Structure 1
Amino acid sequence: MDMSGSERIEAPVETVWRALNDPEILRQAIPGCESLEKTSDTDMVAKVVLKIGPIKAKFEGAVELQNLDPPHSYTISGEGKGGIAGFAKGGADVALAADGPGATILSYTVKAEVGGKIAQLGSRLIDSTAKKLAGEFFSKFGVLVATGSGEPAGIPA
């Protein structure tokens, strides 16, 4: 499954970059995220509960930040296991560009694959669920960053 898109965020590039690297802001923005902990400058572990069609699964997994080019872009990749429900793995290339003095265009390209019971649901349901979840994430992330609701943990730009 591949998808891409962009979101305009009412905050400068440096602020958006710090938020993209802040586990607390990411935890608040990721749909169904129960916990997200940073284990190093580029690694995090997460627990997420998702409902995909009739299947509700709790995923536990690792997330790694790669190809860092602060404050312009990075690749985020991860893999989660959901027990009998199956697994999900993939990554996203994320790029930031200034849109005037106080706004940022965040562009993303996502590649993901699922296996196990979830994969049996069919690609249409999985794709529509993934698009819905991505939309929820970027919408919530944009609000958190623009309103300053999540305070960045002082990650350098």
Structure 2
Amino acid sequence: MELTETHSLPISQQRTWEALNDTEILRACIPGCESIDPDGENAYLVALSAAVGPVKARFKGRMQLTDIDAPNAYNIVFEGQGGAAGFAKGNARVMLEADGDTATKLTYTASAQVGGKLAQIGSRLVDGAARKIAGEFFKRFGAQVAGQGETETAQAGDDTAPAQPAQPDAESSDATSAESGADATKRKRSWTAWISKS
């Protein structure tokens, strides 16, 4: 299995590099990730749950960063065991390139091998699952780093601005709470109006 993709991120290259090396951010962004714990220099123990077609399993593995060229690139070498589901191992090359002062182009090329039940379900399903997991990771990662970038910009310009992003969650939870007829409709209209203003 091989994957090559490019993503554009709305923050500087240095900030992207820092985020890619922040285990808390990675844990929040990797679908099904339960833990990432340091295991020596530039190495981590990872536990995650994943579903590949009909096969669902909890994987435990190790991830090692090699050929580190901060803040431009590194290699990730990984291997994981999923019990009866089988195993996965492979590597990825991650490269960052500045796209102006406030954006970064991230390109990665990954290759992996799977064995056990995972190998039996067919490469098309495995490739599809890998692309879906990677896509979800970058969707979450982009949202995380973009949110932090906005907060940093707002704090630099105006101390009261960071309080504003909390509004959507509060109004969203209000709109989804159990209400009847007119009240729910009224709230829905106010939520729509809030979105159109922002």
1:3-152 superposed matches below 5 A: 3-148=3-148
Distance 1:138 1:66 in 2: 21
Cα deviation 1:42-86 (Å, max 9, x = unaligned): 000010100111111000000000000000000011100000100
SS in 1 for 2:144: helix
Tell me the matched-pair count: 149
Structure with a larger share of its residues in strand? 1
Q: Secondary structure at the match of 1:92?
A: strand
| TM-score normalised to structure 2 length | 0.73
**Distance of 2:117 and 2:64 partners within structure 1:** 25
Task: Report what 1:152 is aligned to.
Answer: none
Distance in 1, matches of 2:119 and 2:4, equals: 21
Q: Give the partner amino acid of 1:76.
A: I
Separation (CA, whole Å) in 2 of partners of 1:39 and 1:84: 25
- Bigger relative contact order (CA 8 A; separation at least 6): 1
5+ long unaligned stretches in structure 1: 150-157
Cα displacement (A) at 1:116: 0.2
After superposition, the CA RMSD in angstroms is 1.1
Question: Greater Rg, structure 1 or structure 2?
Answer: 2
SS at match of 1:102: coil
* Equivalent AA in structure 1 for residue 75 of structure 2: T
34-43 or 112-121, which deviates more = 34-43
Q: Deviations over 1:8-42 (max 9, x none)?
A: 00100000001111111111111110111122340
**Which of the two has greater helix per residue?**
2
Gaps of 5+ in 2: 150-198
For 2:79, the aligned partner's letter is E
Secondary structure in 2 aligned to 1:148?
Answer: helix
Q: Cα deviations across residues 92-123 of structure 1 (Å, max 9, x unaligned)? A: 10000011110000000010110001110001
| 1-structure distance, mates of 2:77, 2:30 | 14
Question: Runs (4+) of structure 1 moved beyond 6 Å?
Answer: none
Fraction of identical pairs, as percent: 48
Structure 1 length-normalised TM:
0.92
Distance 2:40 2:12 in 1: 25
